[in-house]
Amino acid sequence: MSENQAHSSVSLKVGLGQIEITIQNCPSNEFNQAVRNALEAIDSNLELTMRLAEKFGASRSQKGSIRPLPMQTDIANLSIAEVVRKSGAKKGTDLTLVVAFYLLKAEGQEVVNTKDLNDAFDKARLSKLGNLSQTLSTLVQSGRMNETQEKDNIKGFKITQTGEDEVRQMLEPNP
């Protein structure tokens, strides 16, 4: 094996039913074994894996994670504009929460910042909010989002379980 092959790394993200397997930055010479180990662990402990993944939201190891997929209805197949429309969100805080949810769940971003949110508002052809920082502050104070590590030198945010539950409720079909 050449020195370049030993130092190169591979990443993989696969959805299997309600389970998602992510293997990141795995040395290429260890990749096959890492995939095999992840699949064997799921297969031999499927019930426990699902229960823990739902309870804790993620089970992380050094090279990857196993977590439940975000929703039964696959929002990744919808545009951000369709998700916003489907949610029925009108208020700035609700719109921001739905857009953040989409970026984190459908696009797989780990953290969002004001630039990400403004770009997503543009992409969805939504009017930008007058003061996005104040809207995010309101969402943090209400427990629907948390401040987290910076992303691209801009304050980062994640959605909380309360925020996720609220968006899921907005996205559920009305009887």
Q: What tens digit of pLDDT does each residue of 32-58 get?
A: 888 788 777 777 776 776 666 665 554
Sheet holding 9-16, edge to edge: 9-16, 19-27, 64-68, 59-60
- Confidence (pLDDT) at 1: 42
Q: Does pLDDT of 124 surpass 70?
A: yes
CATH number, span 75-171: 1.10.10.10
Q: Return mean pLDDT, the chain.
A: 78
**What residue ranges do the domains of the chain occupy?**
3-68, 75-171
Task: Judge contact between 114 and 129, C-beta under 8 A.
Answer: no
pLDDT confidence band for 100 (50 / 70 / 90): very high
Q: Tens digits of per-residue pLDDT, 152-162?
A: 999 999 999 99
d(CA 124, CA 82): 8
